[in-house]
Amino acid sequence: MATAHQPPSTAPHHTAAGAADTAALESAFDAAVAADERIEPRDWMPDAYRSTLVRQMAQHAHSEIIGMQPEANWITRAPSLRRKAILMAKVQDEAGHGLYLYSAAETLGASRDDLLDKLHSGRQKYSSIFNYPTLTWADVGAIGWLVDGAAITNQVPLCRCSYGPYARAMVRVCKEESFHQRQGYELLLALSRGTPAQHAMAQDAVDRWWWPSLMMFGPPDAESSHSEQSMTWKIKRHSNDELRQRFVDICVPQAESLGLTLPDPDLRWNEERGHHDFGAIDWTEFWSVLKGNGPCNEQRITQRRRAHEEGAWVREAAAAYATKNSERKEATA
């Protein structure tokens, strides 16, 4: 007997007599992936596939949770009640998306507490983009347009990821996120067409968020360590550079409609390639932020850890109440 979330039996895998079985299981797995079938939680899967997925889903969940902070930074200062409602709903969605993704990771036997511990102790990462500060109201718009835009470009292919629970979580996330990018764009448009001070605020935000957004697609293909295997397993369906190019091509005309410029003098249409050429990304900055030297790394993790620690007594209280209550029910039964 096994429950829905119990990891599948690995017995055949570990017995000497099971070597042939393992080969058979592995080729069945490869065939299923190749045929675009979904892998479900209790199916046999290679250990590396499992650990890659747990790591990726956890980091994705962590990014949603940490990603609440830069935007929540403006909830109490939102300049109109309409914007305030939109922003609150958006930050709430991010908590929800974190929950969907943690629950997808839990289908592989990971525990959320354990994953949160790894986040809090720095053993698992989150998207580096959230280590940049939100300095003005326009940053809320720039995050919606550029950061969510880049995230959606990354995430839409994940809806067809080979691992069923991840793909299903992403379908839900993408459906809900479509409003996030649009609200960001609309917010920037209002600023761009507003007073000169508002326009300048919008341009400044785009200037600061453009390059970090391009870095969100990860290092260039030549230097990306996990890419190739993830592509074979259909966890990933397009290369970093391919998605980055797609994003740039989408953004250029959108920036024009906004009446804002993108801070790259080398950005121009290349007729021959049918794509926009763009300038060199400062990968030194990328690696430095990733290693913990971004403007907000320390602040983000400290706040997350504090919320968790200060909430411990609440979680304990609810658990204690549940225990008492079930004992009481048993006693009266």
Partner 1 sequence: MSSSTEWPLWEVFVRSRRGLSHTHAGSLHAPDAEMALRNARDLYTRRNEGVSIWVVPSAEITASSPDEKDSFFEPAGDKPYRHPTFYDIPEGVKHL
Partner 2 sequence: MTSAAVPPAPVTPASPDTGTASPTAGPPALHAAALALGDDALVLSHRLGEWAGHAPVLEEEVALANIALDLLGQARVLLSLVGDEDELAYLREERAFRNLQLVEQPNGDFARTIARQLYFSVYQNLLYGHLATTDSPLAPLAAKAVKEVAYHQDHAEQWTLRLGDGTAESHERMQRGLDALWRFTGEMFQPVPGLDLDWQAMREQWTARVTEVIEKATLGVPEGPQSGAWAAGAGREGLHTESFGRMLAEMQHLHRSHPGASW
In the complex, the residues that contact partner 1 under the rule CB under 8 A are 1-6, 8-9, 40, 42-44, 92-93, 96, 99-100, 103-104, 106-107, 111-114, 117, 168-169, 172, 176, 312, 315-316, 318-319, 321-322, 325-326
Q: Are 105 and 54 in contact (CB under 8 A)?
A: yes
Region binding partner 2 by CB under 8 A among candidate stretches 44-52, 66-74, 159-167, 264-272: 66-74
Work out the angle between the directed axes of helices 81-106 and 112-120 (0-180°, nearest 10). 110
Question: Which residue's CB is nearer to partner 1, number 34 or number 319?
Answer: 319
Shortest distance, CB of residue 3 to partner 1, whole angstroms? 5
| CA–CA distance, 187 with 86 (Å, rounded to integer) | 10
Taking CB under 8 A as the rule, does residue 175 contact partner 2?
no
| Contact residues for 125 (Cβ-Cβ < 8 A; gap 6+) | 59, 62, 290
Tokens representing residue 190 in the block: 């209002």
Q: Are 41 and 4 in contact (CB under 8 A)?
A: yes
Q: CA-based angle 290:158:180, to the nearest 5?
A: 75
When binding is defined by CB under 8 A, the residue of 8, 46, 96, 164 that contacts partner 2 is 96
Taking CB under 8 A as the rule, does residue 3 contact partner 2?
no
| Contact residues for 177 (Cβ-Cβ < 8 A; gap 6+) | 93, 97, 148, 151, 152, 155
Residue 291 site contact among partner 2, partner 1, none (CB < 5 to 8 Å, cut-off depends on kind): none
According to DSSP, residue 10 is labeled -
Taking CB under 8 A as the rule, does residue 72 contact partner 2?
yes
Taking CB under 8 A as the rule, does residue 85 contact partner 2?
yes
Region binding partner 2 by CB under 8 A among candidate stretches 8-16, 164-172, 175-183, 309-317: 309-317
What character string, x for contact with partner 2 (CB under 8 A) and - otherwise, covers 119-148? ------------------x-----------
C-alpha of 331 from chain center: 46
Residue 83 site contact among partner 2, partner 1, none (CB < 5 to 8 Å, cut-off depends on kind): partner 2
| Contact residues for 288 (Cβ-Cβ < 8 A; gap 6+) | 294
Residue 9 site contact among partner 2, partner 1, none (CB < 5 to 8 Å, cut-off depends on kind): partner 1
Interior/surface letters 216-249, b for 16+ CB within 10 angstroms, e for the rest: bbbbeeeebeebeebeebbbbbbbbbebbbbbbe
Shortest distance, CB of residue 170 to partner 2, whole angstroms? 18
According to DSSP, residue 277 is labeled E
Question: Which residue's CB is nearer to partner 1, number 280 or number 331?
Answer: 331
Shortest distance, CB of residue 208 to partner 2, whole angstroms? 18
Residue type, 286: F
Q: Are 36 and 19 in contact (CB under 8 A)?
A: no
Region binding partner 2 by CB under 8 A among candidate stretches 8-16, 217-225, 269-277, 320-328: 320-328
Question: Which residue's CB is nearer to partner 1, number 105 or number 289?
Answer: 105
| CA–CA distance, 249 with 275 (Å, rounded to integer) | 6
Question: Which residue's CB is nearer to partner 2, number 79 or number 295?
Answer: 79
Tokens representing residue 44 in the block: 């046999």
Size of the site for partner 2 (CB under 8 A): 48
Residue 100 site contact among partner 2, partner 1, none (CB < 5 to 8 Å, cut-off depends on kind): partner 1
Binding interface with partner 2 (CB under 8 A): 65, 68-69, 72, 75-85, 88-89, 91-92, 95-96, 98-99, 102, 137, 187, 190-191, 194-195, 197-198, 303, 306-307, 310-321, 324
